[in-house]
Amino acid sequence: MQGIARFAAFALCLIAVCRPVHAAGDCAALANLPLDGATITAAEAIPAGTFTTPPQISLPSKTYTVPAFCRVALTIAPSALTEVWLPADTWNTLLGGWGNGGSTGVVMYDAMSQSLNGGYATVSSDLGHQSTGEDVSWANGRPDLVEDFGYRITHQMTLIAKQLILAYYGTPQTRAYFTGYSAGGRQALMEASRYPEDYDGIISGAPAQNWTRLMAGAVWQSLAVLKDASLKSYPSAEQVGALASAVIASCDGLDGLVDNQITDPSACSYDPAELSCANSSASTCLSKQQLKAIQTLYKPLKNSAGDKLYPGVIPGSEYEWSCSFVGTAPYNGYSYLLSQEYFQNMVYETTSWDFRSFNADVDVPYADSKLADTLNGSSPDLDAFKARGGKLLVWHGWSDGLITPLATVDYYNALKKRYGKSALNSFTRLYMVPAVGHCGAYGPSAFDTLTPLRSWVEQGTAPGSLLALQVDGSGAITRTRPLCPYPKQAVYKGIGSINLAKNFSCQ
């Protein structure tokens, strides 16, 4: 959900070979282009060199090195600030659309600059509100803005970008690609299911696709560690660190290789009771109350009938619990803050709602009935997207502590149930990435998803394994591994360095 910083971290590799194509038109003239439901506020030719973006509510101004481009700023009614950047000299005939992160209301300038330097025309929007990632106050009493956030603005910005491309270059784009991470991954799946004509290829990373259940799961996690006002259940950072190390030590070798990472955490069955203070006097042991809370975190959220509503957290994610529901101090974990604001402002529209009143039998079905159609991108019905030849590449870090990767596996299995393995493989790939979380990674985490997606869309070459790189602080590559199409995993061949991808095969 903290998608703003994650695009660069996962090296989506938007730099492509650019070639001069259709002569650019008059940028300033675009200011007079009539747009349905939108108003252009600026149309300016930016020369090659540097460009400084305007400040945003949660992001300062930033300066980028850019080629010459036409910058079009506009507002999609009622309030969605949107920008379209059109390369002046080296357009590669492609459109790149970008998703957001969390509840963040910002234009994704970092991502747009990557696209622009790769030769793409590119578009991004703040989705109708200006906010930080955990602030949902803008949604209270504004169902129109909730709809804008859910799906409408992503579609509208895409239509407008295509209009501007046609007006500026005199020819439409040859292909359109969308990239989203976290909440942006949810936007990506919304586009595939609701608006299959918008994009030819879609990348959905760590998708927050089942939004209403994700928020319920986050409240469930917060209750586990915070329900007791005395904080006797709340583990310290030192205790969580000890747990993280113990889980990796216990499950590292399940794949037959000890390499300080867990290939498939779903096979890990570490019992945190081993760290019970009954077994140890160390400062990192877990009290009875803390142990109960942590054991609860691994379990799925269920209703009183025993129906699973959302999966629990996964072993191997402990190292980043500090950026989800166990913050550096109580009540400041990202998942806690976002889910509390979601129920207060989107679900019940009253700030008096408190997470300690959460009732899975009442709150989950109510939230689903009110918001699932607007916010959830979990529909397995991609029939129209598949029929028009669209390609979908989904990936998720196996050690994600904010959005459990088990939810993405559930989504993939729902697709497989609908289409069957062969038909699903004709248009979808899922990559589960070991030792990679939502806020960071302790395994190879830099990999290119766009190049293989483009090859699939434009040349019909379905992607196989992807190459993932682990890079140290100096920029040196310390480990490479293949990322295998799920459910295959990278298996060591038994010969050669374990830090070289060539010594692994997908099995």
Q: How far apart are CA 99 and CA 97, in angstroms?
A: 7
Overall domain count for the chain: 2
Could you tell me if 486 and 431 are in contact, meaning their C-beta atoms sit under 8 angstroms apart? Answer: yes
Whether 362 maps to a domain, the answer reads: yes
Residues 159 and 220 in one domain: no
Could you tell me if 423 and 462 are in contact, meaning their C-beta atoms sit under 8 angstroms apart? Answer: no
Q: How many residues does the chain have?
A: 507
Residues 61 and 158 in one domain: yes
Q: How far apart are CA 78 and CA 75, in angstroms?
A: 8
Q: How far apart are CA 295 and CA 458, in angstroms?
A: 47
Print pLDDT tens along the chain (507 aa).
444 333 333 333 443 334 444 567 899 999 999 999 999 999 999 999 999 999 998 789 999 999 999 999 999 999 999 999 999 999 999 999 999 999 989 999 999 999 999 999 999 999 999 998 899 999 999 999 999 999 999 999 999 999 999 999 999 999 999 999 999 999 999 999 999 999 999 999 999 999 999 999 999 999 999 988 889 999 999 999 999 999 999 999 999 999 999 999 999 999 999 999 998 888 899 999 999 999 999 999 999 999 999 999 999 999 999 888 887 778 888 899 999 999 999 999 999 999 999 999 999 999 999 999 999 999 999 999 999 999 999 999 999 999 999 999 999 999 999 999 999 999 999 999 999 999 889 999 999 999 999 999 999 999 999 999 999 989 999 999 999 999 999 999 999 999 999 999 999
Residues 78 and 140 in one domain: yes
Q: Which two tokens stand for residue 29?
A: 């003239």
Whether 61 maps to a domain, the answer reads: yes
Domain interval for residue 281: 214-374
Whether 474 maps to a domain, the answer reads: no
The DSSP bridge pattern shows strands 69-76 and 38-46 to be: antiparallel
Residues 169 and 263 in one domain: no
Whether 344 maps to a domain, the answer reads: yes
Q: Which of 336, 359, 374 is a domain's end point?
A: 374
Residues 39 and 144 in one domain: yes
Q: How far apart are CA 371 and CA 126, in angstroms?
A: 20
- Of 227, 377, 407, the C-alpha closest to 317 is 407
Q: What's the pLDDT score for residue 323?
A: 83
Kind plus residue range of the DSSP H or E element containing 471: strand 466-471
Residues 167 and 296 in one domain: no
Q: How far apart are CA 324 and CA 321, in angstroms?
A: 5
Q: Which of 327, 351, 374 is a domain's end point?
A: 374
Residues 133 and 80 in one domain: yes
Residues 29 and 107 in one domain: yes
Q: Which two tokens stand for residue 438?
A: 């939502």
Q: What's the pLDDT score for residue 327?
A: 72
Residue type at 347 in one-letter notation: V
